[in-house]
Amino acid sequence: MTRLDGDGAIGTGAEAPLTAPGSAPVPAPAMAVATVNGEPYDLSSGLTVSGLVAAWCPSPRGVAVAIDSEVVPRSTWDTTLIEPGATIEIVTAAAGG
């Protein structure tokens, strides 16, 4: 396939993305990010608290999760979605004294 490049010359199609005359290329959508334990974390679409815990912890035993300083009951982990911009703390119980 050939097309005109930005100077009106014929090109191979590898020079630039095809756009309508007078319009700018559409940027790729930005990745949604939350903060987990103080670190930026890229969110996948539909990520739940249980999915996040599975990604961060070897086992959910002894784990507690707070989103924006509110504890998330374990009974709602499967249905609570992580929203972009959320601040999440994942803590685990530690034995000892």
Instruction: Map out the domains of the chain as residue ranges.
Output: 33-92
Percent pLDDT > 90 in the chain is 58
Which has more confidence, 17 or 53? 53
CATH superfamily assigned to domain 33-92: Beta-grasp domain (3.10.20.30)
Per-residue pLDDT reduced to its tens digit, 23-60: 666 665 567 899 999 999 999 888 999 999 999 999 99
Cα–Cα distance for residue pair 64/19, rounded to 1 Å: 49
Instruction: For residue 35, give Cα distances in angstroms to 7, 17, 68, 88, 92.
Output: 44, 33, 10, 6, 17
pLDDT for the residue 94: 83
Per-residue pLDDT reduced to its tens digit, 68-88: 999 999 999 999 999 999 999
pLDDT for the residue 45: 85
